[in-house]
Structure 1
Amino acid sequence: MEFLEIIVLVVSFIFLLIIGVPIAFSIGISALLTMLVSIAPVPAFTTLAQRLATGLDSFALLAIPFFILAGQLMNRGGIATRLIDFAKSLVGTLPGGLAYVNIVANMLFGAISGSAVAAASAIGGIMNPRMVKEGYSRPFSAAVNITSATTGMIIPPSNILIVYSLASGGVSIAALFVAGYVPGILLGMSLVGVAGFMAYKNKYPVGDRIPLSIVFKKLIDALPSLFLLFIVIGGIIAGVFTATEASAIAVLYTVVLSMVVYREVKVKDLPDILITTVITTAIVMLLIGTSMGMSWVMSFENIPQAVSEALLSISDNKIVILIIINLILLFVGIFMDMTPAVLIFTPIFLPVVTALGVHPVHFGILMVFNLCIGLCTPPVGSVLFVGCGVANISISKVIKPLVPLFVAMLVALLLVTYIPSLSLWLPEVFGL
């Protein structure tokens, strides 16, 4: 009977995705169908409703709407322009310098906003016209923007790391945030290396030399935006406030920065910003609720234990198991959004890797890193679609310049996978 229920779960979910049902509803419907097979109809509906409600009943999840609101304020408040100008003053004079500017600006903006989609939209909207105007190919510009926007999902503050903390049963959010810095910077530098080679090969232009005084001025202009990182992460590490409290402080700071300091967000803009935040939050929370329902179904059917036994029967070698899990997560990332993927697969894979001695914080960074690559791939890659839309180019034209950048991401993923200290060094330094 359990085998039948697993078949119903998997087949119904895949079928619903194929016919174009939104992923949140696909998850919820497939979970409900599986419950109807295993238990009576009335308890099935009741149980799913309970799981939807209890899945969202977490204090840590309050941080998500606050960080989303902070990201919306940053997107409208002129922060992207100042970060781009600062990045250009640092690396814009190098061969292919605008590609480096795109990557560094995405790393900074993604780190502040915690959203890959927001970074791809804000930075891409400014950088793509500049790069094309100065002689860069439009596909290359879009590809650089798309891949580098994902760094914000690893460099804190990151909403998806909060979701992983929930799915893992309480891994420290502070430890996850701090652990993301080195892997996120490694990903960015890997993209810089490949983009630099591609720029040199295609003889893209060198930027004008910028006086040190201008560099200092751009730093001063960007400093209020960058200071948010010190407030949020510094406060969490020092124990001044929790990650949830830090998200509310981030909103307060960005309101002051956008409306008082930069004066680019007006009072009349707030209703639109709040509505967008509510819509985005509702989508994320629906994904979380239905994913928690599916996670309960999988636990009820002992699927995590079955998968654990199957993986360990293949090999008890940590290297082999991590390769298999990486391949599965890369495949999952192609078809599934990050939030449900983390909520569904964390309970399945975390017991396996912890049994092999992998630290839960390391695995969290590893899991998010894998799924970041999926954001850049069709058919569900949200960053890919946003990046192509902003650049006004078809997906088919971006694929060729994306391939070498994908290779850079995969190399960085392997380094993060097999060198745990890249993720665990900073948390150990701060005693998290």
Structure 2
Amino acid sequence: MKLYLDPGHGGSDSGATGNGLLEKDINLDIALRIRSLLINNYENVDVQMSRSSDLTKSLSQRTNEANAWGADYYLSIHCNAFNGSARGYEDYIHSSLSDSSTTAIYQDIIHEEVTKVNQLRNRGQKKANFHVLRESYMPALLTENGFIDNPQDAALMSDAAWRQDVAQGHVNGLARAFNLQRKEDGTGTLYKVIAGSFQTRDNAEERVAYLQSHGIESFIITITISGQLWYRVQAGAFSNRDNAENRLQEVQAAGITDAFIVTETTANHAPENDAGYSIMGQTYLSPELMNLFVKDVNNDAIELGIHYLTIGEAYGIRGDIAFAQAMHETDYLRFTGVVQPEQNNYCGLGATGPDNPGASFETPEEGVLAHIQHLYAYASTEPLPDEYPLVDPRFDLVTRGSAPAWTDLNGKWAVPGDNYGQSILDLYVRMIDFSTQQLNNVKQNISW
């Protein structure tokens, strides 16, 4: 199935506005989540987006692109606005179509699935003469996911977990309408390129500096073998063995003869059953790659990667997945929910609604520390390490060790949050894919 996925508006066209939100941002976020869910979970799905960033594109450009590509379906994602009092979800097909048309049947299915999960008033299935419905050659649907100028609907829109649920509802409808087949569960592998192991951090830092002087991104992770602490220099983590082999060759060509590849088996499409996706564990991605990932969406984002690596390492927490959780909670550090940037609260600690935006911390580092400590409370029954003071105000409210895996946070960190952990892991997969692309770009630009 070839899906043309169209996040409405963008660039100089913000779309509707209200309650501190821009329609173009909400549309894009939901659409990106739809694309990720489809590509990661279903066979034989090809998705082309009208835009995957904040750019301006005319309606004609969108429909011409979809028609030239030969899409099987056109899905346009929007939010609504009226007078501040209107609320709810509605969707549209073209006004010329009968209720028994294929397009109308698809609308029936997708409408049913979206309204199951979106917590919005159901305003019904409608028809209109919108450009994208009229000029697209293939069946087309435009969804209006709440009223951005209504405080109740906007409060939902500002919640990343809600946007994930809405995306999942669209995907569930597409899967039913087009009889999409889920990818089979199985085992996958992450391939980590280790460019040296050392008993002292100073030696490891020298290796990192040497690799960086040769244009190779790397960072330090720790591992305990037979009671001995080792400092490993990691030069990439890849889901594809060939990419890892290519990186290994680059490292070896730089004169590092003791480099090697280690593998970690992970559950493919069922990470909650795999120790590789436990909250405790090593960090794969470098601070630089974490920062690049968020800046690809929000160029004004502050750089938190180093804090998630170093503090995560001190507590034995997967710092890169914790970083993904922070991006999920803060909408890529754009803070479109009730928590504000000056709070330095990157995981929504204590935030329960507009009247209670949660805890505040003095510095970004302290905010990351509180986040990691809260994860540690859920994942471990051990006492807190002594390296940092306790700054998490809700540490003692957690049932210690009650959530050793990310999906165990469902219904605990977020309520109801049925897919909360899965949403974090889905974003983390996007981080891995983005990082692989960035590292491949570095490879292409290196001349020996």
Q: How does the TM-score come out when normalised to structure 1? A: 0.25
User: Which of the pair is proportionally richer in strand?
Assistant: 2
Larger Rg: 2
Q: How does the TM-score come out when normalised to structure 2? A: 0.24
